[in-house]
Amino acid sequence: MTGEVKLQTALVTGAGQGLGFHIAKSLKLAGYQLVVTDRDPIAAENAAMQLDASGETVLSLSLDIANKSDFELALEKTIKRFGSLQVLVNNASITRATPVMEISPEEFNEVVNVNLGGTFFGCQVIGAYFAEQGYGRIVNMASLAGQNGGTSTGAHYAASKGAIITVTKVFAKELASKGVTVNAVAPGPIESPMVSALVPEERLATLLDAIPVGELGDADFIGDVVVQFARPEAYFTTGTTWDVNGGLFMR
């Protein structure tokens, strides 16, 4: 008789809605136990209920990625509930579309501290735990904006997402020998609440005309890409960025 197969657990930040929820859903469908986190605890709880009404395989937590201590507490609660953690998806971020010459120091610091700082602290805190365990998968959400300077998004958002690609490489080098991989996904315009908020209906046709494939991306497919990076078999892929942008940016 074979021994019991232990389920792997994945923690997704910013999973209360939008792309983060789709990523969490894809991981759930792939058989992972989930820790659904969001700065809004009610959003996290509602998302968790949608993913597993019984609550047996999903834990919801409040987590503000700008606070390193929130990651430490989330890790502690995850281990207490599920015994271990194998996958981290650094998805949470904030978006501002303020014109570059009008960005205040306060707004710049807020966007960079949350987007870049939150990803950095997630990699640092959870990455250290993974290194101790000798295994882990980290997936960071970058963006097309971080590669082409952005179009509908602000300069501070684009800069923070570009820096996430670099941070991914930094932690990939640091953790590779410990059995931990660190990769990024860089989506272009996706059918999501964020794109709807940034692109008014009257500008949507212009945006679609600019995309070589002629349509917005699919959020569930982004979730499937994350699942591929999260698999144990992905051990030979680290420090990479997977572009999903309809041909807007080609290497």
Domains defined along the chain, listed by start = 9-243 (3.40.50.720)
Output the pLDDT for position 1: 38
Output the pLDDT for position 78: 98
Output the pLDDT for position 151: 76
Output the pLDDT for position 84: 98
Helix/strand number for the chain, H first, E second: 10, 7
- Catalytic residue IDs: 157
Average pLDDT over residues 15-36: 97
Write down the mean pLDDT value for the chain. Answer: 94
Q: Give the full edge-to-edge strand order of the sheet including 33-38.
A: 58-62, 33-38, 9-12, 87-90, 136-141, 180-187, 241-244
Output the pLDDT for position 70: 98
Q: What is the pLDDT of residues 147-169, one digit of tens each?
A: 999 877 899 999 999 999 999 99
Q: What is the pLDDT of residues 168-192, one digit of tens each?
A: 999 999 999 999 999 999 999 988 7
